[in-house]
Amino acid sequence: MVNRLRGCIIYWRLALCLGVFVLLVSGCSGDTGSFLDGGSVDIPVAAGMAGEEWYSQDYLSGGVCVLPADKQDKADKNLPAGSVLLVNATKGKVVYANNIYKKLYPASVTKIVTALVALEYGNLDDMVTISYNASHITEYGAKLCGFNEGDKIKLEKLLYALMVYSGNDAGIAIAEHISGSVDKFAGLMNKEMQELGAAGSHFTNPHGLHDDNHYTTAYDLYLVFNKLVSDYPEFKDIISKGSIKVKFKDASGKKKELSFTSTVKYKLNTENPPEGVTVTGGKTGTTQMAGSNLVLYSTGPDGDSYISAVMNASDAYSLYDQMNYLLSMEGNSKRSKP
User: pTM for the whole thing?
Assistant: 0.82
Q: How far is CA 32 from CA 74, 194, 221, 268, 273, in A?
A: 25, 18, 18, 36, 30
CA 6 to chain centre: 35
Q: How far is CA 325 from CA 78, 80, 118, in A?
A: 7, 11, 33
Task: Give the CATH superfamily of 110-199+234-265.
Answer: DD-peptidase/beta-lactamase superfamily (3.40.710.10)
CA 113 to chain centre: 6
In the structure, what pLDDT confidence band is assigned to residue 300 with cuts at 50, 70 and 90?
A: very high
In the structure, what pLDDT confidence band is assigned to residue 30 with cuts at 50, 70 and 90?
A: very low
Q: What string of H, E and C letters represents the secondary structure of 106-174?
A: CHHHHHHHHHHHHHHHCCCCCEEECCHHHHCCCCCCCCCCCCCCCCEEEHHHHHHHHHHHCCHHHHHHH
Looking at residue 70, its pLDDT comes to: 72
Q: Which amino acid is at 121?
A: Y
Neighbours of 98 (CB within 10 A): 19
% of residues, the chain, pLDDT over 70: 79
Q: Using CA atoms of 266, 267, 268, 270 in order, give the dihedral in degrees to the nearest 10.
A: 10
The whole-chain average pLDDT of the chain stands at: 84
Specify the range with the lowest mean pLDDT, choosing from 39-43, 71-75, 92-96.
39-43
Looking at residue 61, its pLDDT comes to: 55
- What is the phi/psi pair of residue 326, to 5°? -65, -45
Is the Cα torsion angle 127, 131, 134, 135 positive or negative in sign?
Answer: positive
SS3 179: helix
pLDDT of residue 335 exceeding 80: no
Q: Tell me the C-alpha distance between 329 and 319, whole Å.
A: 16
Nearest C-alpha neighbor of 222 from the set 164, 265, 283, 300: 283
pLDDT of residue 47 exceeding 60: no
**Segment 9-24, tens digit of pLDDT:** 444 444 444 443 333 3
SS3 81: coil
Contacts of 160 (CB under 8 A, 6+ apart): 238, 241, 244, 246, 260
Looking at residue 141, its pLDDT comes to: 80
% of residues, the chain, pLDDT over 90: 74
Nearest C-alpha neighbor of 79 from the set 176, 218, 242: 218
Looking at residue 62, its pLDDT comes to: 62
Contacts of 278 (CB under 8 A, 6+ apart): 298, 299
Specify the pairing of strand 291-299 against strand 278-287: antiparallel
In the structure, what pLDDT confidence band is assigned to residue 60 with cuts at 50, 70 and 90?
A: low
98 close to 79: Cβ distance less than 8 angstroms? yes
Specify the range with the lowest mean pLDDT, choosing from 71-80, 151-160, 288-297, 312-321.
71-80
Average pLDDT over residues 262-274: 97
The string of DSSP letters for 18-69 reads HHHHHHHHH---SSS------S--PPPGGGT-TTS----GGGSPTT-----G
Domain boundary assignment for the chain: 1-71, 110-199+234-265
223 close to 64: Cβ distance less than 8 angstroms? yes
Strand partners, 94: 87
Q: What string of H, E and C letters represents the secondary structure of 274-334?
A: CCCCEEEEEEEEEECCCEEEEEEEEECCCCCEEEEEEEEECCHHHHHHHHHHHHCCCCCCC
Strand partners, 305: 299
Nearest C-alpha neighbor of 166 from the set 264, 26, 50, 91: 264
Higher pLDDT, 54 or 90: 90
